[in-house]
């Protein structure tokens, strides 16, 4: 059987997922060297981490609107090129302000990545496959994010931290060239798509055939978007702890170093690889037995309840191994919710899938903005690394409650 073109589209987005997390996560491992060379305090480094999230939040909706208007082929090509340039520009940072500005500009580019991918999936992926595909996408991102600490530790033996950013930026440029040359925004525009595959996608992707799309402002009036945003806040709050302060936490609270530190620093994302696949495929399979709403909710509520419990238990243990393992399990459980949430945003958004996903992602990034800074201030004030984890456990519990109000069957266009 001929390999479906939509599967190749998914492979391209999987490669993009790997690039985004490679560029995001490497700074957490390099933070001690950066702080030492640029003479940055813990709070200053927290602001460096958060500069990315501020831009990511501020430009998420505009970038999503841009993708819905101009298509993901052009928009993804431009934003990946942009952030790759500023990944490399990190190598020339000379003080606190320059690092904050460069990370902010880097975040502007990455803000367009995931909403644009949501737009791709709304055009290329049948409705009944969307949860599984979202799960595969996030699994790839988290797998490479989890492996990044090991990669960085390995190459840091023969490359200084500035050179590592240059190498990672070049990888994004290679992806951009391939994407722009091969991808098309609509299946019917791609020369490799057969008539059979084209008709199947267009008949099953759940988009209205009406020419009238309505105003994208209707996204903000759709009731289920608000709880989607609340759970996204919790997910990003925890995720930014894992990709920023977790290595420092493991080193200072539990004395980890070297390969052990690299393994446990990447473990939450490596375990998330399994959770992403489970949440995506599992919610799709469960939806064939119960309603779509019940299936998505089961993984949303269940994932955050388990995450809250695991993170809380991690604060009660003195063993670094046990605490690190529970933190990784908690992080992975929170990612059980990721594919159902993004699939729900695409389902609800319809022709405004990019903006709907962008709104959810933007509000989520507020959690990413606060997480590194709040931790820095809390640890400075209390000298207790476990206190920020108790806060995270509480936020996960609130997200579990928010999932009870999410209904993926609502539509921005007002369809039932």
**Domain spans of the chain, in order of start:** 5-202+218-405
Residues 247-296 pLDDT 10s:
888 888 878 887 888 888 888 888 888 888 888 778 878 888 888 788 88
Q: Is the pLDDT of residue 126 over 70?
A: yes
> Which of 269, 297, 270, 267 has its CA nearest to residue 282?
297
Residues 305-363 pLDDT 10s:
999 999 999 988 878 788 889 999 999 999 889 888 888 887 777 767 767 777 888 88
pLDDT, residue 216, reads 55
Cβ-based neighbours of 200, under 8 Å, separated by 6 or more:
126
pLDDT, residue 178, reads 94
pLDDT, residue 359, reads 81
Cβ-based neighbours of 157, under 8 Å, separated by 6 or more:
none
Which of residues 168 and 220 earns the better pLDDT score?
Answer: 168
pLDDT, residue 327, reads 93
pLDDT, residue 2, reads 53
pLDDT, residue 234, reads 95
Tokens, residue 208: 């209205």
pLDDT, residue 247, reads 85
Exposure b/e, 66-103, CB count within 10 A at least 16 = b: bbbeebbbbbbbbbbbbbbebbbbbbebeebeebbebb
Within 288-352, where are the H helices? 292-314, 320-335, 338-349
Residues recorded for the chain: 416
Report the distance separating Cα 152 and Cα 229, nearest Å. Answer: 33
Q: Which band of pLDDT confidence, cut at 50, 70 and 90, is reported for residue 147?
A: confident
Tokens, residue 42: 């813990």
Give the mean pLDDT of the chain: 85
Which of residues 283 and 102 earns the better pLDDT score?
Answer: 102
**Does residue 334 contact residue 233 with C-beta atoms inside 8 Å?**
no
Q: Is the pLDDT of residue 211 over 70?
A: no
**What integer is the mean pLDDT of 62-77?**
85
Q: Quick check: pTM over 0.75? A: no
> Which of 370, 366, 348, 353 has its CA nearest to residue 416?
348
**What integer is the mean pLDDT of 22-37?**
84
**Does residue 223 contact residue 355 with C-beta atoms inside 8 Å?**
no
> Which of 205, 178, 213, 237 has its CA nearest to residue 122?
205
Lowest mean pLDDT, pick from 67-81, 124-138, 171-185: 124-138
pLDDT, residue 220, reads 67
> Which of 335, 285, 277 has its CA nearest to residue 306?
335
Q: Is the pLDDT of residue 415 over 60?
A: no
**What integer is the mean pLDDT of 54-62?**
83
How many Cβ atoms sit within 10 Å of the Cβ of residue 42?
A: 17
Residues 227-247 pLDDT 10s:
899 999 999 999 889 888 888
Report the distance separating Cα 147 and Cα 18, nearest Å. Answer: 10
Q: Is the pLDDT of residue 172 over 80?
A: yes
> Which of 235, 193, 252 has its CA nearest to residue 53?
235
Lowest mean pLDDT, pick from 40-54, 90-104, 213-227, 372-386: 213-227
CATH topology of domain 5-202+218-405: Growth Hormone; Chain: A; (1.20.1250)
pLDDT, residue 416, reads 37
């Amino acid at each position: 059987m001929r390999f479906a073109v939509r599967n190749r589209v998914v492979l391209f987005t999987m490669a993009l997922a790997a690039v985004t997390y490679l560029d995001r996560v490497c700074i957490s491992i390099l933070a001690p060297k950066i702080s030492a060379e640029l003479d940055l305090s813990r709070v200053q480094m927290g602001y460096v981490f958060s500069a990315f999230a501020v831009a990511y939040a501020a430009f998420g909706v505009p970038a999503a609107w841009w993708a819905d208007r101009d298509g993901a082929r052009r928009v993804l090509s431009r934003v990946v090129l942009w952030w790759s340039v500023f990944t490399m520009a990190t190598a020339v940072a000379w003080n606190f302000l320059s690092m904050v500005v460069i990370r902010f500009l880097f975040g502007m580019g990455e803000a367009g990545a995931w909403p644009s991918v949501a737009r791709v999936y709304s055009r290329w992926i049948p409705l009944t496959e969307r949860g599984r595909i979202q799960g595969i996408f996030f699994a790839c991102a988290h797998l490479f994010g989890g492996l990044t600490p090991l990669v960085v530790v390995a190459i840091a033996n023969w490359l200084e931290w500035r050179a590592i950013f240059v190498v990672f930026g070049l990888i994004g440029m290679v992806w951009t060239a391939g994407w722009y040359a091969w991808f098309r925004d609509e299946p019917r525009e791609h020369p490799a798509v057969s008539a059979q595959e084209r008709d199947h996608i267009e008949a099953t992707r759940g988009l209205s055939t009406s020419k009238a799309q309505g105003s994208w402002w209707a996204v903000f009036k759709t009731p289920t978007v608000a709880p989607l945003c609340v759970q996204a806040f919790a997910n990003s709050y925890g995720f930014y702890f894992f990709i920023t302060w977790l290595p420092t936490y493991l080193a200072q609270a539990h004395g980890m170093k070297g390969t052990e530190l690299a393994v446990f620093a990447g473990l939450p994302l490596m375990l998330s690889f399994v959770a992403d696949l489970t949440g995506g495929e599992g919610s799709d399979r469960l939806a064939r037995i119960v309603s779509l709403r019940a299936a998505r909710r089961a993984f949303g509520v269940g994932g955050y309840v388990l995450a809250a419990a695991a993170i809380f238990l991690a604060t009660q243990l003195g063993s670094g191994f046990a605490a690190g393992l529970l933190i990784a399990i908690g992080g992975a459980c929170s990612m059980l919710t990721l594919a159902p949430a993004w699939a729900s945003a695409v389902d609800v958004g319809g022709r405004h899938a990019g903006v709907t996903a962008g709104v959810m992602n933007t509000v989520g990034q507020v959690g990413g903005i606060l997480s590194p800074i709040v931790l820095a201030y809390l640890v400075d004030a209390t000298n207790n690394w476990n206190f920020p984890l108790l806060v995270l456990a509480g936020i996960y519990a609130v997200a579990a409650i928010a999932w009870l109000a999410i209904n993926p069957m609502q539509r921005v266009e007002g369809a039932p």
